[in-house]
Amino acid sequence: MKIVIVDESPIRSAILEEGLREAGFTAVERLSVMQNLLQRIYAIDPDVILIDLENPSRDALEQMFQVSRAVRRPVAMFVDQSDTDSIRASVDAGVSAYIVDGLKKERIKSILDLCVSRFNAFSHLQNELERAKSDLEERKKLDRAKGLLMKAKGLSEEEAYRLMRSAAMRENKKIAEIAQAIITAAELFK
Amino acid sequence: MSGAKKHLRIGFIPLVDAAALIVAADGRFAADEGLDIELVREVSWSNIRDKLAIGLFDAAHMLAPMAIGSSLGLGQVKAPLVAPVNLAMNGNAITLSRALYEELFKEKGDPADPASSARALAAAIRAREAEGREPLTFAMTFPFSTHNYQLRYWMAAGGIDPDRDLRLVTLPPPFMVESMAQGQVDGFCVGAPWSSVAVDAGVGRILHFGCEIFARAPEKVLAMRRRDAEAAPDVAHALARAIAKAASHIETTKDQDEIAAMLARPDRVGVDAGIIRRTLVGKLKIDADGTMRENANYLVIGKAGALRPEAAQAVWLYAQMLRWAQADFSTVGVEEATRVFDADLFDAALGAPAAKASSDRDPGGAFDGARPVDDLRAYLAGFAIGCKT
């Protein structure tokens, strides 16, 4: 069975491809560029096309399938044709499938379930990365505010931190917000 | 209603014609009806359709023809929908690249008259054919859309067969301007604000407002799954009322800036409030040189009975599908289509209109004369180009 993955995120499509290969689907191709998409899909002649739902080109792809004269015309996979829960879960995870006729339900289900787990794994990874990034930003902000306090009030690092922490507790705010306020104020006083 | 508010997840595409839905959800109108609306911004009409069909959305901002296509299972799996309220009429515009505009009107032709501009386009297409040049490419946003029907109706009136004489492609609205700038697209029909964006960027000139082709084309509806509306009609009623009240607020408020600011938010339409305000009042810059065009019916949200879904609108849309081979005629098809535009649901929520609209027999109001749709065979036979039943 030939599978094409259309995804603008190369990392995510690589994660999905790896999963499909592990599950025994060896004929997997990844397309990320939208140019000449239809010609490339027809050249591969896949049984299943997986597309990420953040992709605004999905409407264009659907129109091309509708007007194309190819015999094996892929249709958007849907409630009647397979397991509703799998489809709902895959759409919720952000991926949709187009299939050509004659494919067994069970095989589709296993592909969809795989998409769900891999897409969810990817967004989990992405969230972690975002969190790490914002933690780093926060730390930088804290250090800068600390430096400003130390300079303005002649405090030690420890004292500056304690001052910010007690202000945060008193005003029921996060310490990062206090740090931001100090930075903003310092810029205004410049 | 008392107690906890009913939570509804509603999908929308960032377009100004989602205004009534956005103002209902973000203003006080939904809460007044006991609803708590969570709006979800989507990137494609296919996503909107699928997420509504499988139950990830409770309702959606949807292309009016798409609601019929989904209910009839045209080019997609059949998922019966119903529209308790219309969201907008009109609001599109046909825009040409500067080069094509100049080619069309350098010698003669009246760019303000659709009949004349369509003939000018036909002449340009024949000239290209004779010179062996590449055919023109026009873009629209989805096959089941008024954009598609507006382009095709206008072209065919000038003697152009849109399936043979040029390329008609689907493009996501935010890609239109860039594709035109790169010369891949010579013209497009798209909803606000994307034509204005093309004008401001200096790559295109607005040729016609959608309402110059069809005076009152049903553009977007609020769509729900039919079985949900039947199981919980009170929710459909509350939603129709919240949207109708928001729509009339949009039409009557003195503070258009407030509405524009609400729509301009990055998680809503996400474009400049000034551009949104121009489209709301129907006053658009059509050329980078500052030429303006004004039409109060450019985008109709809540006035003149536009909110009420009517069977005649569905028949008219179905007629466009027949003409362009998207559907094969059947009496069941006509019945199914008319069930989507559910005036009964609307009337139950908001009360029946005092007088029946007089325009019922010709819901589209095309530029080239009245064309009643009560006899579909006669309607289709009246066109030189397109399918007959």
8 Å CB contact of A60 and B54? no
Note the pLDDT of residue B359: 47
8 Å CB contact of A59 and B44? yes
The answer to whether residues A68 and A38 touch, using CB atoms and an 8 Å cutoff, is yes
Inform me whether the pLDDT recorded for A33 exceeds 80.
Answer: no
Q: Are strands B137-140 and B187-191 parallel, antiparallel or unpaired?
A: parallel
- pLDDT tier for residue B146 given thresholds of 50, 70 and 90: very high
B178 or B59, which is more confident: B59
Inform me whether the pLDDT recorded for B346 exceeds 60.
Answer: yes
Interface check A91 vs B, CB under 8 A:
yes
| Nearest alpha carbon to residue B83 among B232, B240, B238, B235 | B240
Inform me whether the pLDDT recorded for A21 exceeds 80.
Answer: yes
Inform me whether the pLDDT recorded for A77 exceeds 90.
Answer: no
Note the pLDDT of residue A80: 53
- pLDDT tier for residue B40 given thresholds of 50, 70 and 90: very high
The sign of the dihedral angle between the CA atoms of B115, B121, B124, B130 is negative
Note the pLDDT of residue B151: 98
Inform me whether the pLDDT recorded for A110 exceeds 50.
Answer: yes
- pLDDT tier for residue B164 given thresholds of 50, 70 and 90: very high
Note the pLDDT of residue A71: 55
8 Å CB contact of A58 and B43? yes
Q: Which residues pair with A3 in a beta bridge?
A: A28, A48
What is the Cα–Cα distance from B25 to B242, expressed in whole angstroms? 8
Q: Which domains does chain A have, with CATH numbers?
A: 3-103 (3.40.50.2300), 129-188 (1.10.10.10)
Interface check B76 vs A, CB under 8 A:
yes
Out of A110-119, A125-134, B126-135, the most confident range is B126-135
Mean pLDDT on B290-297 = 94
Mean pLDDT on B228-244 = 97
8 Å CB contact of B51 and A91? yes
A122 or B241, which is more confident: B241
Note the pLDDT of residue B108: 80
Mean pLDDT of chain B: 93
What is the Cα–Cα distance from B288 to B198, expressed in whole angstroms? 9
A-chain residues within 8 Å CB-CB of B174? 56
B375 or A86, which is more confident: B375
Amino acid at A23: A
Note the pLDDT of residue A38: 76
Mean pLDDT on A146-154 = 94
Side-chain half-sphere of A108: how many Cα atoms within 13 Å? Answer: 27
Q: What is the CATH number of the domain that holds B344?
A: 3.40.190.10
Exposed (0-12), middle (13-18) or buried (19+): which is B196, by Cβ within 10 Å?
buried
8 Å CB contact of A58 and B44? yes
Residue B76 is part of which domain span?
A: 6-89+218-271+325-377
How many domains does the structure of chain B reveal?
A: 1
Inform me whether the pLDDT recorded for A70 exceeds 70.
Answer: no
Q: Which of A39, A59, A78, A83 is the best substitution to test chain B (most B C-beta atoms within 10 A)?
A: A59
Is position B225 within any domain?
yes
Mean pLDDT on A76-99 = 76
Tell me which DSSP letter residue A79 carries: G
Is position B341 within any domain?
yes
Tell me which DSSP letter residue A80 carries: G
Of A79-88, B54-63, B104-113, B270-279, minimum mean pLDDT range: A79-88
Is position B53 within any domain?
yes
Size of interface A-B (CB pairs under 8 A): 71
pLDDT digits (tens, 9 = 90+) for B13-36: 999 999 999 999 999 999 999 999
pLDDT digits (tens, 9 = 90+) for A152-190: 999 999 999 999 999 999 999 999 999 999 999 999 988
Residue length, chain A?
Answer: 190
Mean pLDDT on B206-219 = 96
The sign of the dihedral angle between the CA atoms of B148, B153, B156, B158 is negative
The answer to whether residues A67 and A38 touch, using CB atoms and an 8 Å cutoff, is no
Note the pLDDT of residue A8: 86
Is position B277 within any domain?
no
8 Å CB contact of A53 and B44? yes
SS3 content of chain A, % helix, strand, coil (to 5): 65, 10, 25
Note the pLDDT of residue B357: 52
The sign of the dihedral angle between the CA atoms of A41, A45, A51, A56 is positive
8 Å CB contact of B170 and A59? yes
Mean pLDDT on B200-224 = 96
- pLDDT tier for residue B358 given thresholds of 50, 70 and 90: very low
Inform me whether the pLDDT recorded for A84 exceeds 80.
Answer: no
Q: What angle do CA B213, B214, B219 make, to 5 degrees?
A: 120
Q: Which residue of A has its CA nearest to B53?
A: A79
Mean pLDDT of chain A: 86
pLDDT digits (tens, 9 = 90+) for B366-386: 999 989 999 999 999 999 999
Is position B70 within any domain?
yes
B-chain residues within 8 Å CB-CB of A92? 56
Is position B212 within any domain?
no
A-chain residues within 8 Å CB-CB of B79? 78-79
- Nearest CB partner across the interface for A53, out of B47, B79, B142: B47
- pLDDT tier for residue B360 given thresholds of 50, 70 and 90: low
Mean pLDDT on B223-247 = 97
- pLDDT tier for residue A69 given thresholds of 50, 70 and 90: low
**Which residues, other chains included, contact B262 with Cβ-Cβ below 8 Å and sequence gap of 6+?**
B22, B23, B26, B27, B268
Q: Which of B49, B50, B78, B178 is the best substitution to test chain A (most A C-beta atoms within 10 A)?
A: B50
A8 or B39, which is more confident: B39
- pLDDT tier for residue B354 given thresholds of 50, 70 and 90: low
Ramachandran angles phi, psi of B83, nearest 5°: -115, 105
- pLDDT tier for residue A111 given thresholds of 50, 70 and 90: confident
A-chain residues within 8 Å CB-CB of B143? 63, 66-67
Q: What is the 3-state secondary structure of chain B?
A: CCCCCEEEEEEECCCHHHHHHHHHHHCCHHHHCCEEEEEEECCCHHHHHHHHHCCCCCEEEEEHHHHHHHHHCCCCCCCCEEEEEEEEEECEEEEEEHHHHHHHHCCCCCCCCHHHHHHHHHHHHHHHHHHCCCCCEEEECCCCCHHHHHHHHHHHHCCCCCCCCCEEEECCHHHHHHHHHCCCCCEEEEECCHHHHHHHCCCEEEEEEHHHHECCCEEEEEEEEHHHHHHCHHHHHHHHHHHHHHHHHHHHCCCHHHHHHHHHCCCCCCCCHHHHHHHHHCEEECCCCCCEEECCCCEECCCCCCCCCCHHHHHHHHHHHHHCCCCCCCHHHHHHHHHHECHHHHHHHHCCCCCCCCCCCCCCCECCCCCCCCCHHHHHHCCCCCCCC
Give Rg (Cα) of chain A: 26
What is the Cα–Cα distance from A61 to B172, expressed in whole angstroms? 11
What is the Cα–Cα distance from B30 to B32, expressed in whole angstroms? 5
What is the Cα–Cα distance from B259 to B358, expressed in whole angstroms? 31
8 Å CB contact of A76 and B175? no
Cis peptide before B193 (omega within 30 of 0): yes
Q: Which residue has the tokens 């019922």?
A: B360
Mean pLDDT on A31-40 = 77
Put simply, the chain B residues between 120 and 149 with a CB less than 8 A from any chain A CB are: 141-143
